[in-house]
A and B are shown apart, each in its own frame.
Chain A
Amino acid sequence: MSDEPARSWTDSLSAAERVEAVALTVSEPRTANWIASEAEVAHETATKYLKRLTDDGKLSSEERGQQTTYEPDLVGQYLIEMRELYEGHSPDELAASLEDMNEQIRTWKTEYDVETPNELRASLVRTEDATDERERRQAARKWDHLETRRRLVEDALRLYDRFPGERHSTSA
Chain B
Amino acid sequence: MNRGSENPAIYRTLKDVLERQAEVVSVWFEPDAIQKRYLAAEIEPQRVVPPTGPESPQLEVHWKLTPPHDEFRIDYADPNVGFHCGWHQDEDHTDLGAAHFQYQTAWMETPHYEGVVFEAASPPKLLWECCGELFEDVVPNYTTER
Contacts and interface: CB of A to CB of B under 8 A. Distances in A.
A binds B: yes
Interface of A: 5-9, 12-13, 18, 21-22, 24-28, 38-39, 58, 71-72, 74, 77-78, 80-81, 84-85, 88-89, 93-94, 97, 100-101, 134, 137, 141-142, 144-146, 148-149, 152-153
B125 A22 contact: yes
Interface of A is mostly: helix
A38 B125 contact: yes
A26 B32 contact: no
A152 B5 CA distance: 12
A88 B33 contact: yes
Interface size grouping (class) on chain B = 35 or more
A28 B137 CA distance: 32
Contacts of A24: 7, 9-10, 12-13
Given A21-B16, A22-B122, A22-B124, A149 B65 contact: no
A62 B65 CA distance: 20
A68 B91 CA distance: 33
A134 to B, nearest CB: 7
Contacts of B67: 27-28
Given A9-B128, A72-B1, A97-B35, A25 B10 contact: yes
Contacts of B66: 27
B117 to A, nearest CB: 16
Given A101-B35, A149-B36, A144 B4 contact: yes
A141 B123 contact: no
A144 B64 CA distance: 10
B6 A145 contact: yes
A74 B9 contact: no
Given A38-B120, A100-B35, A145-B37, A80 B6 contact: no
Given A72-B1, A137-B91, A28 B68 contact: yes
Nearest to A6: B22
Contact of A27 (B1, B13, B124): B1
B9 A77 contact: yes
Nearest to A156: B34
Nearest to A82: B8
A144 B4 CA distance: 8
B42 interface: no
B122 A25 contact: yes
